[in-house]
Structure 1
Amino acid sequence: MAERTGWQKVAKRIRVPMGFVTAAVFLWLARPSGKTLALSLLVVGPGVWLRAYAAGYVRKNAELTTSGPYAYTRNPLYLGSMLIAFGFAGAAGSWVLLLLLAALFAAIYIPTIQGEEQFLRTRFGNFDEYAAKVPRILPRLTAAPTNEERGEFSKALYLHHREYNALMGAGAIYAALALKLWAAYHFDMTRFLHQ
């Protein structure tokens, strides 16, 4: 395995715990409205779908996955995570949260992706050829041409990678935001009625 730099090691190790901390801060600072919750579904929904779709193709460390969503972007799982995070920042109705999430993603995911690419480059001889055709994050409009056989979505891989957790997590965050919205509305109505 390729040697990771100091920050790459730290970023890879803290990305999941930081996600939980970020979610707690997010819920504390969020000021959702019915409109922001509804509009956020236009970004969060595709993000959850993309993560699920990508998980059904990837065989981590066993092969260089170049089919399905990997024919459009080298990192569909991270792109899906970005869509989910930025969609929820929109749901929260906070530019501060959006900027905080962008900074967090840059600090955590840029070094993580660089470290993973170093590993893939040493493990798979055709990685550089693949990387020349497929962008790191923002997807191509058409699938990259390849000499390899196109894979198919595998429900077993999706389940193996437990990607259903992203759907459950998104549902839990929406429930918490809806509860926060209800509580704010209820509190305002109670105060209004007692004045």
Structure 2
Amino acid sequence: MNLSAAAVGQILWVLGVIAWYVIRYPFERRAKRVRIVTNRRSFVDMVGLVAATLGLAVVPGIYVATGFPEAADYPARMWAIAIGAVSFFSAMWLFRRTHKELGKNWSISLEIRDKHQLVSGGPYALVRHPMYTSFLLMALGQAFLLSNWVVALAGFVGFALLFFLRVDKEERMMLDSFGGSYRDYMDRTKRLIPYIY
């Protein structure tokens, strides 16, 4: 059987999304057992999460399942699929590392947990928000793996809404919780892309 480049891209995207869920699930279960001491969830926070879910899972999932919107397709190329695979699976590696580094401090939302510690090792030594970096890499991978302009745009828009709606609030919460330690950490790290931004 000779698979087309588009089919290979779709298979790799599905495998990547499965990997995302397999990585996230045990941390989600564990997080429910740790008491929340500060909760800054809001409607805007939820909008960001919904946007990311739509852009990085629902819209591409519909495309993979149905081919809709076919009119926005562009030709799939194996070189693009290779770039997409490296980007998406780099995102999964980083996603796993961030979860491991955060451990019991991890939360899907804007929360401080009981005995929360400032994490500044592993990928957090280079950027303050490496989990968002992994979502950016997912969006990039999605654009190369699924050769459709709507799907490519959906991934980047979903990521951007999540990031820009939450990052300032997240940093304010960390400053309120850790004060000068977090300010020093901000001074020596970038937000999203090492050495750049």
TM-score bracket for the superposition, by shorter chain length: 0.5 to 0.7
Structure 2 partner of 1:68? 122
Report the Cα distance in structure 1 between the residues aligned to 2:130 and 2:154, rounded to whole angstroms: 22
Deviation by residue 1:67-95 (Cα, 9 ceiling, x = unmatched): 11101011111101211221121112234
Report the Cα distance in structure 2 between the residues aligned to 1:77 and 1:26, rounded to whole angstroms: 25
Structure 2 partner of 1:80? 134
Structure 1 partner of 2:27? none
Q: In the alignment, is the contact (CA less than 8 A) between 2:135 and 2:159 conserved in 1?
A: no
Q: Within 5 Å, give how 1:90-129 maps onto structure 2.
A: 90-125=144-179, 126-129=181-184
Deviation by residue 1:134-156 (Cα, 9 ceiling, x = unmatched): 11101139xxxxxxxxxxxxxxx
Percent of pairs with identical residues: 21
1:49 aligns with 2:49: no
Q: In the alignment, is the contact (CA less than 8 A) between 2:123 and 2:130 conserved in 1?
A: yes
Structure 1 partner of 2:194? 139
Deviation by residue 1:98-130 (Cα, 9 ceiling, x = unmatched): 333222222222112222212211111211111
Q: State the number of aligned residues.
A: 140
- For 1:138, the aligned partner's letter is I
Report the Cα distance in structure 1 between the residues aligned to 2:143 and 2:171, rounded to whole angstroms: 28
Q: Given the alignment, which residue of 81, 88, 103 partners 1:37?
A: 81
1:8 aligns with 2:8: no
Q: CA deviation at 1:54?
A: 1.8
C-alpha change, 1:21 and 1:138, in structure 2 (3 Å) is same
The CA RMSD measured in Å over matched residues stands at 2.6
Q: In the alignment, is the contact (CA less than 8 A) between 1:2 and 1:118 conserved in 2?
A: no
Q: CA deviation at 1:15?
A: 4.9
- For 2:184, the aligned partner's letter is E
Report the Cα distance in structure 1 between the residues aligned to 2:102 and 2:83, rounded to whole angstroms: 30
What residue ranges of structure 1 are gaps of 5+ in the alignment? 142-195
Report the Cα distance in structure 2 between the residues aligned to 1:95 and 1:20, rounded to whole angstroms: 15
Report the Cα distance in structure 1 between the residues aligned to 2:127 and 2:99, rounded to whole angstroms: 14
Report the Cα distance in structure 2 between the residues aligned to 1:55 and 1:84, rounded to whole angstroms: 16
Q: TM-score when scaled to structure 1? A: 0.60
Structure 2 partner of 1:158? none
Report the Cα distance in structure 2 between the residues aligned to 1:21 and 1:43, rounded to whole angstroms: 20
Report the Cα distance in structure 1 between the residues aligned to 2:150 and 2:60, rounded to whole angstroms: 14
Displaced runs of 4+ in structure 1, greater than 6 A?
none
Q: In the alignment, is the contact (CA less than 8 A) between 2:139 and 2:159 conserved in 1?
A: no
